[in-house]
Amino acid sequence: MRTTTVNVVRLELGNMKERYALGSIILHWAMVILILALIGLGWYMVGIPRGTPPRAYFFNLHKSIGLMSGVFIALFIGWRLRYVPPPHPDTMARWEMKLAVLAHRLIYFFLILVLVSGYVEANFTQYGIKFFGYPLPPWGPNDKRIDTVLVNVHDYSADAFAVLIAIHVGAAIKHFLVNRDRILQRMLPFG
């Protein structure tokens, strides 16, 4: 009897033919929340005057959420390697399918690049990382040249990632409103 229960749970969390697995859906939407928070905080905090307490608070909050998102990103990529997503509908043109695969690969690339560049950059400053107030020991020297390069990589890749996310959302809306092919519903928890 216990084996049956385990198999039912595995079926619900694992691969499903018409929609994404429940685990994929949960991880996707958790990352959406974290990444939108990071983008919003990132754009907001750079406008706060240097040397003020709010700037340090928001930068540390951004770093803390970024580290937390790293756990979800690792889980998501691990999950994605284990569970193949449902196939594209037959109504999609071959070029659309190829573009969708490329877009998803770019999303994974930027997930990793933005996270790693932000984490590494934070370890080459005098400020380091305070994970929700708990200081983590920096492992890099306070090197302004390295920090400047990594800040640029982090900032520009985050901006490119935000554009890619907008394209991704636009494509999902297009499939929902124009194609009506249930692409969007496959990733909705209630779809």
In this predicted structure, the answer to whether residue 97 has a pLDDT above a threshold of 80 is: yes
- Measured distance CA(64)–CA(29) in Å, rounded: 19
Q: What is the pLDDT of residue 180?
A: 86
Give the residue-averaged pLDDT of 95-124: 95
Question: Out of 26-30, 167-171, 183-187, which region has the weakest mean confidence (pLDDT)?
Answer: 183-187
Confidence band for 71, pLDDT divided at 50, 70 and 90: very high
What integer pLDDT is reported at residue 108 of this predicted model?
94
Answer whether residue 16 shows pLDDT above 90. no
Question: Given pLDDT bands bounded at 50, 70 and 90, which one contains residue 18?
Answer: confident
**pLDDT reading at 77 higher than 70:** yes
Q: What is the CA radius of gyration of the chain?
A: 19
What pLDDT band is residue 191 in, cutting at 50, 70 and 90? low
What is the reported pLDDT for 36? 96
Of residues 179 and 35, more confidently modeled = 35
Q: Which residue has the tokens 């901006």?
A: 159
- For residue 25, pLDDT over 80 is answered with yes
Which residues contact residue 91 at a Cβ distance below 8 angstroms, ignoring those fewer than 6 apart?
A: 179, 181
Beta strands in 96-159 (DSSP E): 129-131, 134-136
> What mean pLDDT do residues 80-107 have?
91
Within 8 A by CB and 6+ apart from 144, the residues are: none
In the chain, what are the domain boundaries?
2-187
Asked if the model's pLDDT at residue 148 lies above 90, the reply is: yes
Task: Report the alpha-carbon distance of residue 185 to residue 80 in Å, rounded.
Answer: 18
pTM for the full predicted model: 0.84
Whether the pLDDT of residue 53 is over 80: the answer is: yes
pLDDT band per the 50, 70, 90 thresholds, residue 56: very high
6/158 Cα distance (integer angstroms): 40
Q: Check if CATH label 1.20.950.20 holds for domain 2-187.
A: yes
What is the model's pLDDT at position 13?
47
C-alpha distances in Å from residue 88, one per residue of 82, 84, 97, 124, 126 = 18, 12, 7, 43, 48
